Amino acid sequence: MAVLLIAGFMNLIDVTIVNVALPSLQSGLGATSSQIEWVVAAYILAFAIGLLPLGRLGDMMGRRRIFLLGVGAFTLASTLCGLAPDINTLIAARLLQGIGGAMMTPQTLAIAQVIFPPKERAAAFALFGVTAGLAAVTGPLIGGLLINADLMGLTWRPIFLVNIPVGLFAILAGLKFIPVMDGNRDVGIDLGGIVLAALALLLVVFPLIEGRELGWPAWSFAMMVASVPAALLFARWQFRQASSGAPQLLPVSLMTNVGFMGGTLVTSLFFSAVPGFFLVLAVFLQTGYGLTPLQSGLTTVPFSLGVFISSMVSGKLGQRWQRQRIFIGSVMLSGAMLWLQMLVAGLGDALDTMLFLPPLLIAGLGLGAAVSPLFQLALAKVPDRDAGSASGGVQSFQQVGGALGVAITGHLFFTSLMGASGAALGKTGYIAALDTALYYGIFAYGLTALAVFFLQPPGVAEKAR
C-alpha cells in the first residue's frame, strides 16, 4: 500500500506544482494564454482518455505490470518536461505524462479494491485521500521553493525533474513488494471505443480552449455541436460490442449500473471546478499582483491543509453518512467560492493574502469531506472482475470534468481579462477576471449539492452496510 501511495503522491504533487509554476512557464517560454491552458489541459485530456483503456489493460495484462510500466512512463515524461526547449515540446511531454499517469492510477484503486476485504476498503480509500491532501499541502510549497531557488539557473524545470528519483524508487520498491496479479487475457481492448471516446472529448475541449484565442470561428461551434453525436455513437458502439461478445471500453454492465453512472457523473461535476480555479488563481496572484511563486504557493496552503485535515476525519467515518458528507462538502465549496468572489471584488492596488485564508480553508475542508464518499458510492456495486474498468471509469469522468472546467474557467478568466480591446488590463482587470471565473465554481458545487441526493435512494447505503 505504501508503494501505491508513493506513486500516487508523485502524480498528484505534480499537478499542484505545475499550477504554481504556470506564470513562470509562460514568461520563460514566451507562451500564449491558450498554450498555458494546454499545459494543464493536455495532461488532463491524456489522463482522461487513457484511464478507461489502460484500466482495462491492467485487468487483461496484470495490474502490477501495468502499474510499474506507468510509473516508468511518467518518470520518463517528467524528464522530457524538465528538458523541454519550447512550449510545444512541453505540451507534447505533458501528453506522455498523462498517459503514464493513466497507466498507474487505475491500478492503484483496483489493487486496493481487490486485496482489501470490504470492511477495510473505507480505510484504504481514506489513505488515498490523505495522500492527496499531503500532495496538495506540499506541492505549492515545494514548487515555490524550487522556482525561487533557481537551481543551476533552471528556473521552473526542477519541478518536473524532481520526479526522477521518486519514480525510480517506486519502480524498485514495487518490484519487491506489490503482489503479482495474473491478468485475464479474455478481457480484450476496445480500440474503436478508444477512438470514439477520444474524439468526443477533443470535440468539446479543443474549441473551448482555442476558440477564444482565434476569435470564435464557426468551426469551433461546429465541433462542440458534433461532440453530442460522437458521444451517442460511442454509447451505441459499446452496446454493439456487448451484443457480439467483443471487448468494451466502458462495459455495458457499468453503463447500465445506475449507482455507478450516477456516482461518476456527480464526481465529474464535483471535480470540474478545482483545476481551472487554481490555474487562474496562480495567474491572478503572480501576474496580476506580482507575488513570487513561493508567496503564491503559501497563499494556497490553507486550502491544502483543509483537504488534509478533512480527509483524515472522513477516513474515520468510513461508510457512514456518505451522501450527507458530499452535500456538506459541496455547500462549503460553493460558499467558499462566493466568499472569495466578494473578497476579490473589494480589493484595491494592495493585496493582503491573509484575507484568502478563511475561504480557502473552508474550501479545502469541503473538498476533503466529499472525496472518499464520492468514490465509495460510485464503486460500491461494482463486481471485482470490472474493478479496473470501474476505477478507471470514475476517474476518467473526473478528469473529463477537470478538462472541461479548465476550458470553461480559463475562457471566463482570460476573456474578461483581455476585454473588448484585446489588450490586458491592470489590476482592476485581473480583479474583474477572477470575479467572473469564480461564477463557475459557485455553480458547479451548488449543482453537486442538489444532485447528490439522486445518487441512490435514502437508506440504501445504510442497508448495505
Q: For the range 378-382, what are the long-range contacts, defined as Cβ-Cβ under 8 Å and sequence gap of 24 or more?
A: 378/259, 378/260, 378/262, 378/263, 378/264, 378/267, 379/109, 379/113, 379/260, 379/263, 380/259, 380/461, 380/464, 381/257, 381/259, 381/260, 382/113, 382/254, 382/257, 382/260
Sorted by sequence, the CB contacts under 8 Å of residue 232 that are 6+ apart come out as none
pLDDT band for 187, please (50, 70, 90 cuts).
low
Per DSSP, the three-state class of 455 is coil
In a domain? residue 57: yes
pLDDT band for 23, please (50, 70, 90 cuts).
confident
Alpha helices in 85-214, H assignment, sequence order: 87-115, 118-149, 158-161, 163-177, 191-213
Cα(235)–Cα(286) distance, integer angstroms? 43
Cα(267)–Cα(290) distance, integer angstroms? 35
Give the pLDDT confidence of 153-180 residue by residue, as tens digits: 788 888 889 889 989 999 999 898 888 8
- Looking at residue 385, the DSSP 8-state letter turns out to be G
At 168 the pLDDT is 92
Between helices 63-83 and 2-29, what is the axis angle to 10°?
20
Q: What is the mean pLDDT of the chain?
A: 81
Sorted by sequence, the CB contacts under 8 Å of residue 218 that are 6+ apart come out as none
Residue 461 has pLDDT above 50, yes or no: no
User: Which residue shows C-alpha cell 461564477?
Assistant: 439
Give the pLDDT confidence of 29-73 residue by residue, as tens digits: 888 877 887 888 788 778 877 877 787 788 778 888 899 999 999
pLDDT band for 110, please (50, 70, 90 cuts).
confident
Residue 237 has pLDDT above 80, yes or no: yes
In a domain? residue 191: no
Determine what percent of the chain is predicted with pLDDT higher than 90. Answer: 15
User: Among 280, 210, 276, 296, which Cα is nearest to 432's?
Assistant: 280
Q: For position 13, which CATH number holds?
A: 1.20.1250.20
Residue 453 has pLDDT above 80, yes or no: no
pLDDT band for 387, please (50, 70, 90 cuts).
low
In a domain? residue 265: yes
User: Which residue shows C-alpha cell 519502480?
Assistant: 171
Give the pLDDT confidence of 260-280 residue by residue, as tens digits: 887 788 888 888 888 788 888
Give the pLDDT confidence of 398-427 residue by residue, as tens digits: 777 877 887 788 888 888 877 644 444 677
Q: Residue 319 sits in which domain range? A: 2-181+249-464
At 457 the pLDDT is 45
At 460 the pLDDT is 42
In a domain? residue 224: no
Cα(71)–Cα(167) distance, integer angstroms? 6
At 318 the pLDDT is 66
Which helix (H) or strand (E) segment holds residue 189: the answer is none
In a domain? residue 444: yes
Cα(256)–Cα(265) distance, integer angstroms? 13
Domain count for the chain: 1
User: Which residue shows C-alpha cell 482555442?
Assistant: 210
In a domain? residue 214: no
In a domain? residue 199: no
Give the pLDDT confidence of 275-320 residue by residue, as tens digits: 788 888 888 888 888 888 888 888 888 887 888 788 777 767 766 7
In a domain? residue 242: no
Q: How many CB atoms lie within 10 A of CB 148?
A: 15
Give the pLDDT confidence of 83-108 residue by residue, as tens digits: 998 999 999 999 999 899 888 887 88
Residue 247 has pLDDT above 90, yes or no: no
